[in-house]
Amino acid sequence: MKYTIAFLIILLVSFVVYNKLQAGPFASPPVSFYSLKFIDIDGNERSMLEFKGKNVLIVNVASECGFTSQYEGLQELQDQYENKLVVIGFPCNQFAGQEPGTEDEIKSFCTSKFNIDFLLSSKIDVKGEKQHEVYNWLTLKEKNGHSNSSVKWNFQKYFIDKNGNLINYFYSITKPKSSKITSLIK
């Protein structure tokens, strides 16, 4: 009887471990990316569900940062992969006050200086007490099913595949058209 119970416990543990391993790194996240929403720079509510079937690159952006020139690369990426990728910029003023403008000022800057037509959100917090739900999902493994992270600076990039899985994130120094990012676009 002791051996039967021990065998059943080993069998159950093996089954659980096997199923965890089978789920692998691309298992569905605990919270669906497609359940997330945000307000775009024009004040319209948007849902990530709109982008189902496309890869999504989320970037916290700022107009007065040393990395601001990356707007150009982000637009080129959006243009080059328009059928496979959606770029969404999330303006944020949490890093050295480098995005002080209003939504209208941000939009005007992006269109006049960089001819941006990829999607921009309203200004948000990417960390702290008022962290936006999109960044809460991006930075918490318990929600995204992939990894914990913290946003270190402006122009940090998060890549979500066409199935809504967080695949990787890249710090500011990784340029938008880096092979680290473009190799993920399928």
Residues involved in catalysis: 65
Question: Is residue 45 within a helix (H) or strand (E), and if so which, with residue range?
Answer: strand 45-47
- Residue 91 pairs in a beta bridge with 61
Distance of CA 133 to the CA centre of its chain: 11
Q: How far apart are alpha carbons 6 and 77 in whole angstroms? A: 56
Tokens 């303006």 found at: 91
Q: Which one-letter amino acid corresponds to residue 181?
A: I
Cα 61 to Cα 126: distance, rounded to the nearest angstrom:
10
Q: Are 185 and 55 in contact (CB under 8 A)?
A: yes
Residue 154 is given by DSSP the state T
